[in-house]
Copies of this chain bind each other. A is one copy, B any other.
Amino acid sequence: MSEATWELVETGFDIRTAKAWEGLFTLGSGYLHTRGSLEEHLLDDPQNTSFLRMPANVTAEKARPNQLKWGTFVPGLFGPHPTLNNEMVNLPWFLDLTPSVAGEKLDMQASATTGYRRRLDLRTAVLQRDLTWKTKSGAVLTLCFERFISAARPSLSVQRLTLLADRNTAVDIRAGIDADIRTSGLDHLTSQSFRSERPDTVACTVTTNGGDTVDMAALLTGVPTAHVTCGAREGRISGTIHLTAGKPLVVEKRSTVATSRDLIPRPPLTVLRDAASLTFEALQAEHAALWRERWERSDVVIEGDDRTQLALRASLYHLLRCHVPGDDRVTIDAKGYAGDAYFGRFFWDTEMYLLPFYLYTDPERARTFCDFRIRTLDGARANARRYGYRGARYGWESDTWGIDGCPNWQYGDHEVHVTADVVYGMVHYARAAAPDYLKTRAAETIVETARYWLDRIDRRPDGSPVLLGVMGPNEYTPISSNNAYTNTLVSFALRTAAEVGPQGGASPDECRLFREVADGLPIPRRGELVLQCDGFDQLAEPRFDELWKDRTTGFANQVSQERLYRTKCLKQADTLMLMALFPAMFSDAECRAAWDYYLPLTTHDSSLSVGMHALMALRLGLDKEAWAFFQQGLYKDVDVAHGGAAEGIHIAGCGCNWMIVVHGFAGLKTALDSDTLNLQPRLPSALQRIAFPMIWKGIPIQVDLSRHQCAVTNRGQTALLLDINGRSATVAPGQVYTHVLSS
């Protein structure tokens, strides 16, 4: 297997792409995440600039012009912001490990360096940076930085710096913790105290304006003269090492984080002490072993296109990195804990784009997504009450308590489909992994969302239900009526509520009402065309040729929001997404009509758009288009030249990339659409093979698709029923079933 498909490599330092690499190189254990910042940072790029970040149209918001952007995140650790509501707090930065020679600090912009190379080994989740530094003093140093966040000890960051000089050289080493940081321009820290624990160890305790306490400690080894200096907002361990020409020396920094909301208490000094007897190699080994297990459960092998393979692995790496095991107080925020642009909050992405990957590779983890919604039911009830409704209303941007933090009313007030998406996710989970889930744990939640819908839905004079004043997934139509996507999802959720009503505390009358409204909600149509919403075809023509001159950046960046809002332009697939989610509900002709009508209107300003188009193209037999859309979405994060992951990972896009390969190319019907494993493979012509493990209704299997055959291995204990291109079979445990594909 080629290393080239397992390594993301930055081959030279370029300040224009540095922030994108910083996001892409984010490391994490689920519990703790740090962006791939340079250990010595930059000379002139302050991370403590205060500003008032205002609620803005997230599509067109301009990021602050920092060259790099630190990010240290513990999922779910939120604090209030005066204009943005609760947001995830960017914690003190502990990666600092800075060499200086004769007063010259290493700096990627000011110093003379050669041979710069950074690589993230996706298999082991270790980041390594190599470079040669010609210091002003004349000495030439070869430096190798390595680091990882331990999968085995999720609060522990391990760093190693190997130094080699061409002559005897004294090198000053600084290893600090910097608490002078901001989140969205705000200082969330209400107190900071630094202390020296030992000459080689600095510790700090900070409190946040969300009432949390965060403890950190950092230990520097390999520097005999180490001593600690504590400032008001910074603590550092410093010392000098003396390199002998040609003899490498190694220094190590280990940092740990603990917070007052940890499920498992891990006091920083205890964590450091417990690891004290273990070498870097030993710690790396236990870490890598866990990552190996993850990949075995999840890797998708692509043969025929190494670039595709690598980009897909990058997506899978971030999906594996950022799920928080065993913690249903959070799901995955919209930037994959690799940036705070979306406030660390939880969107519909959870159910619609992230759930499938976990559901079919690690259903236990998928369950925490659904449990999160149940845990935050009271928050959802509070959201509903705030609008004067009964029941539960899930927030467009949930914080850890389920309270909607969305500071822009057009989304927060009107993008109500998320409450139905939550139920869709629960049903998906239940069908794939835990049939009892709906009627037991989830029933009350589902009924509560249905009660919200009954209050939210209006009636025409003839009594027929209508859902007015909503924003569908296409956020460029802000307030519309009978959005086809929303109405369908709401009907689905209401039907589910009618089914689980008795267990969820709904009266028979309520259940009847749920069903009646579910059946009555209209889908606007004009002939074969499903309309996005009532009157969509009365909106203005988008006039892209005239108004969208620069296609390298989004339409929303080139016209006013006011124009977007009156125009027939789509930010992302809306009706098409509906058809992708409910394939059996729409005929091929309807899908085709929608494709022909909406595609020319679609800007794909949302990174989530192209993936759904890839899936729909496959449905329509448009393999070439499907491949093109797949490729368009696949490189979003790794395309550093166009910003990539600068503001965070497009984690929902990562999930969508997996969905295209598994549900699209391998043609796996979801558990919502099929009780048996059902594959309708369409291997792209660019590829020779796709192979991946998954779990189908509790049975671990391996799918191996090549041009001429599709093989399914039953690795479980029970017989597997399957259907490949309409041919049914039963595969006994341990058996491989091979279906020969007609070409």
Residue ranges of A at the interface with B (Cβ–Cβ < 8 Å): 52, 54, 82-83, 386-388, 409-410, 413-414, 458-459, 466, 468-469, 478-479, 481, 534-535, 538-541, 547, 559-563, 565-566
Contact = CB atoms under 8 A, between A and B. Distances in A.
A394 to B, nearest CB: 15
A563 B458 CA distance: 10
B566 A479 contact: yes
A534 B565 CA distance: 16
B52 A563 contact: no
B535 A413 contact: no
Contact of A413 (B469, B547, B560): B560
26 contacts: A52-B83, A83-B83, A386-B560, A387-B563, A388-B559, A388-B560, A388-B563, A410-B410, A413-B560, A413-B562, A413-B565, A414-B562, A414-B565, A459-B541, A466-B540, A468-B538, A468-B540, A468-B566, A469-B563, A469-B565, A478-B479, A479-B565, A479-B566, A481-B566, A534-B535, A535-B535
A561 B410 CA distance: 10
A413 B563 CA distance: 9
A645 to B, nearest CB: 29
Given A52-B83, A540-B458, A562 B468 contact: no
Given A468-B540, A481-B538, A481-B566, 4 more contacts: A388-B560, A468-B538, A469-B562, A469-B566
A563 B386 CA distance: 12
A413 B57 CA distance: 13
Contacts of A541: 458-459
A615 to B, nearest CB: 31
A563 B456 CA distance: 9
A299 to B, nearest CB: 45
Contacts of A414: 562, 565
B479 A479 contact: yes
A600 to B, nearest CB: 15
A85 to B, nearest CB: 11
A387 to B, nearest CB: 4
A348 B100 CA distance: 64
A427 to B, nearest CB: 26
A475 to B, nearest CB: 13
Contacts of A410: 410
A468 B539 contact: yes
A56 to B, nearest CB: 10
A184 to B, nearest CB: 14
Contact of A566 (B458, B535, B562): B458
A402 B82 CA distance: 29
Contacts of A566: 458, 468-469, 479, 481
B83 A409 contact: no
Nearest to A459: B541
A559 B388 CA distance: 7
A381 to B, nearest CB: 15
A522 to B, nearest CB: 12
A555 to B, nearest CB: 12
A547 B410 CA distance: 22
A482 to B, nearest CB: 9
A467 to B, nearest CB: 9
Nearest to A407: B54
Contacts of A83: 52, 54, 83
A667 B6 CA distance: 85
A558 to B, nearest CB: 8
Nearest to A535: B535
B458 A387 contact: no
Nearest to A386: B560
Contacts of A459: 541
Contacts of A562: 387, 409, 413-414, 469
A561 B481 contact: no
A414 B479 CA distance: 13
A54 B55 CA distance: 10
> What 3 A-B pairs have minimum CB-CB distances, sorted nearest first?
A469-B566, A458-B540, A413-B562
A414 B409 CA distance: 15
A459 B535 CA distance: 15
B479 A82 contact: no
B52 A409 contact: no
A477 to B, nearest CB: 9
